[in-house]
């Protein structure tokens, strides 16, 4: 398992009965987590001193209950700053477990013998984009949500990256990749974090299990001859890490060489010393 254990301003304090108690800077949040199937005593005092609590509804969705949480606040990871705010379906605008992948791509970018050109697809609020840019890459950031791209730009400004070589694009990722192939564009590193389910701008349905392999094959065409890495993340239940590695082997290793690996990603839980699983990643590199 790849563990995001270098955080100073975020931690999972405890988990119990379908929920996790987290510290985001100086604020305590309780949020649901489907991986937490155990019912253990809630001895951490933070369970009763929370600043916000997201309650799941039996009918799906849910709502926030606020106590002392401000509308927006910030936390830092290494030399990056992220603006946070509670919004739909329990999210805050950041997936802290992805820090383990930010560190991995940053190391590859810094160790390259040349500036790298990186593409980040389904790029959300820009964690991977900012890490790559801070490491010295030029980045193309693509997400279909105008609001998410605007949020990513705010994070870039907060991180001192307002003038970094980042191209911000609001676009359907599949359509964008198809156009880039026709243009003959190439990238030295590609990151993708596709959703389990979604709809395109014209109602096109994206279902991870059906769409990911054709899209991975398509996107692999954008790798440069001297490409250094490809990263794919998945939060889709039932899609094992080995599946990601198998696809990378078929789509990239057989064409470019190098090696593929995969693992669950996770976060340490302070009170138990155990690891909370948080999805899976597949990596190709050379």
Quick one: pLDDT at residue 52? 98
Average pLDDT, the chain: 95
Residues 122 and 196 in one domain: yes
CA angle 233, 239, 244 (to 5 degrees): 50
Q: Is there a contact between 222 and 183 (Cβ–Cβ < 8 Å)?
A: no
Residues 48 and 187 in one domain: no
d(CA 93, CA 199): 20
Residues 150 and 259 in one domain: yes
Given 33, 49, 78, the domain boundary residue is: 78
**Rg value, the chain, Cα:** 19
**CA atoms within a 13 Å half-sphere pointing along the CA-CB vector of 275:** 13
Quick one: pLDDT at residue 198? 72
Q: Which of 139, 133, 134 is nearest to 120 (CA)?
A: 139
pLDDT in tens, 13-61: 999 999 999 999 999 999 999 999 999 999 999 999 999 999 998 877 8
Quick one: pLDDT at residue 59? 79
Tokens found for residue 93: 């605008």
Note whether residue 89 is domain-resident: no
Q: Looking at residue 280, which CATH number applies to its domain?
A: 3.40.50.150
d(CA 265, CA 127): 16
Domain span including residue 136: 96-285
Quick one: pLDDT at residue 202? 67
Note whether residue 85 is domain-resident: no
- Number of domains observed in the structure of the chain: 2
% of residues, the chain, pLDDT over 90: 88
Residues 224 and 149 in one domain: yes
pLDDT in tens, 197-233: 776 666 667 777 778 999 999 999 999 999 999 999 9
Please check the confidence at residue 140 and state whether its pLDDT lies above 70.
yes
3-state secondary structure the chain: CEECCCCCCEEEEEEECCEEEEEECCEEEEEECCCCCCCCCCCCHHHCCCCEEEEECCCCCEEEEECCCCCCEEEEECCEEEEECCCCCCCCCCCHHHHHHHHHHHHHHHHCCCCCEEEEECCCCCHHHHHHHHHCCEEEEEECCHHHHHHHHHHHHHCCCCCCCEEEEECCHHHHHHHHHHHCCCECEEEECCCCEEECCCCCEEEHHHHHHHHHHHHHCCECCCCCEEEEEECCCCCCHHHHHHHHHHHHHHHHCCEEEEEEEEEEECCCCCEEEEEEEEEEEC
Q: What value does the mean pLDDT take over residues 71-92?
A: 95
Residues 74 and 104 in one domain: no
Quick one: pLDDT at residue 201? 60
Q: What value does the mean pLDDT take over residues 118-144?
A: 97
Quick one: pLDDT at residue 147? 95
Quick one: pLDDT at residue 195? 82
Please check the confidence at residue 72 and state whether its pLDDT lies above 70.
yes
Residues 237 and 103 in one domain: yes
Q: Is there a contact between 152 and 146 (Cβ–Cβ < 8 Å)?
A: no
> Which pLDDT band holds residue 78 (cuts at 50, 70, 90)?
very high
Q: Which of 208, 250, 263, 257 is nearest to 229 (CA)?
A: 257
d(CA 254, CA 252): 6
**Cβ neighbours of residue 31 under 8 Å, at least 6 residues apart?**
19, 20, 22, 53, 54, 90
- Averaging pLDDT over each range in 95-104, 190-199, 204-213, which range is the top one? 95-104
Residues 74 and 109 in one domain: no
Q: What value does the mean pLDDT take over residues 132-155?
A: 97
Q: Looking at residue 11, which CATH number applies to its domain?
A: 2.60.40.1180
d(CA 12, CA 271): 8
Burial-class residue 35 by CB neighbours within 10 Å (0-12, 13-18, 19+): middle
Residues 31 and 161 in one domain: no
Note whether residue 91 is domain-resident: no
Q: What value does the mean pLDDT take over residues 153-159?
A: 98
Q: What value does the mean pLDDT take over residues 103-127?
A: 97
Residues 53 and 126 in one domain: no
């Amino acid at each position: 398992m790849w563990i995001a254990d270098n955080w100073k301003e975020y931690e999972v304090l405890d988990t119990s009965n379908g929920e996790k108690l987290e510290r985001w800077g100086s604020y305590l949040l309780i949020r649901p987590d489907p991986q937490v199937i155990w019912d253990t005593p809630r001895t951490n005092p933070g369970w009763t001193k929370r600043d916000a609590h997201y309650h799941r509804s039996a009918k799906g969705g849910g709502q926030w209950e606020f106590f002392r949480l401000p509308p927006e606040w910030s936390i830092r990871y290494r030399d990056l700053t992220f603006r946070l705010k509670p919004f739909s379906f329990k999210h805050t605008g950041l997936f802290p477990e992805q820090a383990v992948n930010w560190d991995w791509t940053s190391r590859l970018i810094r160790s390259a013998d040349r500036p790298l050109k990186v593409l980040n697809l389904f790029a959300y609020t820009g964690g991977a984009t900012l890490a790559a840019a801070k490491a010295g890459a030029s980045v193309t950031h693509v997400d279909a949500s105008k609001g998410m791209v605007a949020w990513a730009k705010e994070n870039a400004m907060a991180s001192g990256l307002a003038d970094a070589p980042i191209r911000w694009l609001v676009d359907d990722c599949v359509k964008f990749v198809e156009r880039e192939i026709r243009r003959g564009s190439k990238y030295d590193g590609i990151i993708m974090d596709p959703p389990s389910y979604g709809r395109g701008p014209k109602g096109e349905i994206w279902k991870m299990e059906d769409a990911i392999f054709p899209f991975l094959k398509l996107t692999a065409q954008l790798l440069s001859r001297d490409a250094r890495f490809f990263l794919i993340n998945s939060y889709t239940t039932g899609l094992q890490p080995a599946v990601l590695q198998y696809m990378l082997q078929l789509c990239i290793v057989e064409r470019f060489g190098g090696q593929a690996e995969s693992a669950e990603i996770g976060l340490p839980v302070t009170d138990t010393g155990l690891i909370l699983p948080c999805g899976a990643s597949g990596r190709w590199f050379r």
